Amino acid sequence: MTKMNPCDNCAAHTPGAFMRHGINMTRYDYLVALAGNPNTGKSTVFNNLTGLKQHTGNWPGKTVTRAEGGFTFNQKKFKIVDLPGTYSLLSTSTDEEIARDFLLFGKPDVSVVVIDATRVERNLNLVLQILEITDRVVVCLNLIDEAKRHNLEIDDRQLARDLGVPVVPTAARGKRGMDTLIQYIYDVASGTYVCKPLRLKNITTRTTHAVDELTNGILEKFPDIPNARWIAMRLLEGDQRIIDAIRSGSLGVDQVYETIEEKSEQYGYENV
Amino acid sequence: MDTKTYNPNEEIISNATRLRQETGENFYDTVLESIYTEAAAIAGRAVRHREDKPKYTLDRTIDKIVTSRIFGFPIMVALLAVVFWITIEGSNIPSNFLYFILVETLHPVLKSTVASIGTPWWLHGLLVDGAYLSVAWVVSVMLPPMAIFFPLFTLLEDFGYLPRVAFNMDSLFRKAGAHGKQALTMSMGFGCNAAGIISTRIIDSPRERIIAILTNNFSLCNGRWPTQILIATIFIGSLVPAHLAGLVSATAVVSVAILGIVLSIVLSWVLSHTILKGEASTFSLELPPYRPPRILRTLYTSLIDRTIFVLWRAILFALPAGLVIWLVSNITFGDASIAEHFIGWAHPFGLFIGLNGIILLAFIIAIPANEIVIPTILMLTVTTLGMHELGAGAGVMFEFDSVNVTASVFQAGGWTLLTGINLMLFSLIHNPCSTTLYTIYKETGSMKWTTMAAVIPLGMGIAVCFFVAQIWRLFTGG
């Protein structure tokens, strides 16, 4: 047994480096959000990472509540939140709102976006929107086995170059690619890997100025709010809900966070 | 805060309005457009089709068949029927075995043991005849069908069949003025109505969401499947020769399930044309690829999470219910127990709608959980008729067969085929359990809709049972 196994050097395989925690997460070092389009396998990834048995199903809309769990990697505790599937951050149904609010105001340290390798283009719409609001993203290119079965070849390195964030091919049902995913979550959370996320072009200078002006106005009134720029963009579109939230003053981080907590508590009913 | 004072946040809003007019372009469209363009460009660079083979051929072929106009519904019904048939045929033997162990063997032993250590009669009556017996009954009657039904149903879900059901049902729901996704929330309700209610969050429009919530109760839930299966086996299956009994019982259960679907569509139509008027909104539903079900994992999750969860809930509610049953049948006022008073009072009305007083009392005691309707009926019948020594002793019933024992209890209670049919109907159409009602209250935040969710199906159930009883009596002259 002198032959060296390359896996022995990998942190993911060092005994004790990775440990699942189920739902026992009282204190944690990093907060990880698990987002993505419906039915891309978020809950399966979640189960793999936490050792929990969150219900999974082969249809969009299976998860309508937030599930939380955790794991330890390299002595750091990660709390991970499985969000309901969403096609867009501009959506309106309650389950999608839960996902959107958490990504925007929950201040996750890393947002893992699970995308369906057989429907890359449509899934990228959400990835691009999330890249607008946060730097720290890991893309989990899931269902890579299904893509292969359908004769699709996906160049994950090209994808990573274009998006400016790590892209990890996985087949969560077969637990493949999870080591790499954990490693990248750790790297991005700890700042070892610095993302250079793609930002949208095509926006005119005049609009950019308008967004800047509004952003500053918002930050004056709500100095602690994350994603003021995103809010400014919604205001510029005339999004009525954001206007109402500004008017009632409920846009403050803590308030929003509380309502989400409240929501998840209220909706904390497990699927049975 | 005084709302009339100047709100400094208005400044942000008025600023936004001014800037929106100044930039003069539809910002929303610009953003969306640049997202779509970028996504297409990136995907174009990264994704390659290896050959020009048509993609998803097998999936498409299956979809063409299971969602076709001609075969879609028959396949749905047939799949359901097969699932029930396997459940009914398969649960017979383990059910009898459990009944033999828990009720016929352990119950007398427990009773004599507890009695021998000198406890007062009311205490061992309360604990052994009340609490223990109802739990034992729940386990032996419900565990085997659940342990077979849930894994089968979960396999279908894991395979990807549910969205196809939704696809088939979509046009029906839309014609009823409801949201097409209601087919999905309805399917969730087949597991548990409380879960079905929560799953209505996938419906954006509040109007359609309320419709989905109010009609979810017509999806037979975990707690009611065993009732349907048992009553169908006893009353419908016994009408035909033994080798056909399983198939006929399965058909009866499927019919009740389909009646539930029909009723939920009808009620959706009525609601959307009366108190919840409006147009059905459009949506797109993704048909996910079929995925080979992971059999072992499915067995594990459906056994642990569903079967054990539901059974545990049934036991949890059966324990206090057993105590309540024992108390109401043993605390007497004047010449009769509380139970006898109520049953005597409610009996005429019960008979009037083709049920009886015991069934009505059982449905009241079982408000916390539908799971315990049958055990409650059995316990009440046994205690009010004074058949205390089940299986052993009295020599009335000596077969090691839970279904036959149950059937003979029903006979002693004066049941007819009409009682059986109406019990199946009433179990489908009555108020939701208290957990579901609580969930409805939490999700809608409205006492009005919660009350409606209880009163509408209850009224419908009484009406349906009444009409069935009238027609029955017209034809049988009974």
Q: Which positions in chain A touch B6 (Cβ < 8 Å)?
A: none
The verdict on A192 and A213 lying in the same domain is no
- Residue of A38, A151, A246 lying closest to B51 (CB–CB): A151
Residue A1 falls inside a structural domain: no
CA-based nearest residue in chain A for residue B308: A272
Mean pLDDT split into 10-residue runs, chain B, 478 residues: 56 79 72 85 87 66 83 86 82 80 83 80 76 76 76 79 82 86 82 80 85 93 82 86 86 92 94 82 71 75 70 75 80 84 91 92 86 80 65 34 73 87 94 87 90 95 95 83
User: Residue A135: what pLDDT?
Assistant: 85
Residue A5 falls inside a structural domain: no
> Is A128 part of the contact surface with chain B (CB cutoff 8 Å)?
yes
- Residue of B201, B222, B301 lying closest to A94 (CB–CB): B201
Min CA distance, A176 vs chain B (Å)?
15
Residue A86 falls inside a structural domain: yes
Residue A272 falls inside a structural domain: no
**Residue B410 contacts residue B355 (beta carbons within 8 Å):** no
The verdict on A129 and A249 lying in the same domain is no
Burial A189-223 (b: 16+ CB within 10 A, else e): beeebebebbebeebeeebeebbebbbebbeebbe
Q: Cβ separation of B285 and A271 shorter than 8 Å?
A: no
The verdict on A85 and A174 lying in the same domain is yes
Beta bridge partners of A141: A115, A169
User: How many structural domains is chain A composed of?
Assistant: 2
Distance CA B120, CA B2 (A): 67
Distance CA A152, CA A116 (A): 12
> Is A159 part of the contact surface with chain B (CB cutoff 8 Å)?
yes
The verdict on A54 and A144 lying in the same domain is yes
> Is A141 part of the contact surface with chain B (CB cutoff 8 Å)?
no
**Residue B27 contacts residue A233 (beta carbons within 8 Å):** yes
> Is B279 part of the contact surface with chain A (CB cutoff 8 Å)?
no
- Residue of A56, A162, A202 lying closest to B45 (CB–CB): A162
User: Residue A9: what pLDDT?
Assistant: 59
Question: Could you tell me the strand order of the sheet in which A30-36 lies?
Answer: A18-22, A67-73, A76-82, A30-36, A110-116, A137-142, A167-169
The verdict on A56 and A111 lying in the same domain is yes
Average pLDDT over residues A50-68: 68
Looking at A199, A215, A247, the residue that finishes a domain is: A199
pLDDT in tens, A66-92: 678 888 898 889 999 888 888 888 766
- Residue of B35, B184, B301 lying closest to A53 (CB–CB): B301
Min CA distance, B55 vs chain A (Å)?
6
Residue A4 falls inside a structural domain: no
The verdict on A185 and A225 lying in the same domain is no
Q: Where are the beta strands (DSSP E) in A92-219?
A: 110-116, 137-142, 152-154, 167-169
pLDDT in tens, A155-193: 999 999 999 999 999 998 888 999 999 999 999 999 999
**Residue B192 contacts residue B199 (beta carbons within 8 Å):** no
Residue A188 falls inside a structural domain: yes
Residue A169, φ and ψ in degrees, nearest 5: -70, 130
User: Residue B478: what pLDDT?
Assistant: 58
Say which residue the tokens 């009305």 belong to.
B349
CA-based nearest residue in chain A for residue B286: A60
User: Residue A218: what pLDDT?
Assistant: 83
Min CA distance, A1 vs chain B (Å)?
34
Burial B40-58 (b: 16+ CB within 10 A, else e): eebbeebbeeeeeeeebee
CA-based nearest residue in chain B for residue A56: B158
Looking at A199, A218, A238, the residue that finishes a domain is: A199
Distance CA B160, CA B326 (A): 46
The verdict on A49 and A141 lying in the same domain is yes
Q: Could you tell me what percentage of chain B is helix, strand and coil, using 3-state DSSP and rounding each to the nearest 5?
A: 75, 0, 25
Q: Cβ separation of A210 and B19 shorter than 8 Å?
A: yes
Q: Tokens for B224? A: 């009611």
Q: Which positions in chain B touch A200 (Cβ < 8 Å)?
A: 31, 34-35, 38
By residue count, chain B amounts to 478
The verdict on A194 and A176 lying in the same domain is yes
Q: Compute, in degrees rounded to 10, the torsion defined by CA atoms B320, B322, B328, B332.
A: -120
Distance CA B32, CA A237 (A): 11
The verdict on A22 and A109 lying in the same domain is yes
- Residue of A153, A249, A272 lying closest to B50 (CB–CB): A153
Pairing of strands A110-116, A167-169: unpaired
Residue A191, φ and ψ in degrees, nearest 5: 85, 5
**Residue B218 contacts residue B260 (beta carbons within 8 Å):** yes
Distance CA B252, CA B88 (A): 12
- Among B residues 136-175, those touching chain A with beta carbons less than 8 Å apart: 157-160, 162-163, 166
Residue A3 falls inside a structural domain: no
Q: Cβ separation of A210 and B56 shorter than 8 Å?
A: no
- Residue of A38, A59, A232 lying closest to B160 (CB–CB): A59
The verdict on A173 and A210 lying in the same domain is no
Distance CA B395, CA B98 (A): 20
- Residue of B20, B30, B42 lying closest to A159 (CB–CB): B42
**CA B54 remoteness from chain centre:** 41
The verdict on A145 and A233 lying in the same domain is no
pLDDT in tens, A122-167: 999 999 989 988 889 999 999 999 888 888 899 999 999 999 999 9
CA-based nearest residue in chain A for residue B289: A58
Min CA distance, B309 vs chain A (Å)?
8
User: Residue B54: what pLDDT?
Assistant: 54
Residue A103 falls inside a structural domain: yes
| Structural domain of A117 | 13-199
The verdict on A48 and A163 lying in the same domain is yes
**Residue A79 contacts residue A66 (beta carbons within 8 Å):** no
Q: How many CB atoms lie within 10 A of CB A13?
A: 13
User: Residue A254: what pLDDT?
Assistant: 39
Looking at A199, A220, A249, the residue that finishes a domain is: A199
**CA B235 remoteness from chain centre:** 21
Identity of the amino acid at B321: A
CATH of the domain at A163: 3.40.50.300
Which 3 state secondary structure label does DSSP give B432? coil
Kindly report the pTM of this predicted structure. Answer: 0.69
CA-based nearest residue in chain B for residue A123: B39
Query: B81, B220, B233: which is closest to B144 by C-alpha?
Result: B233
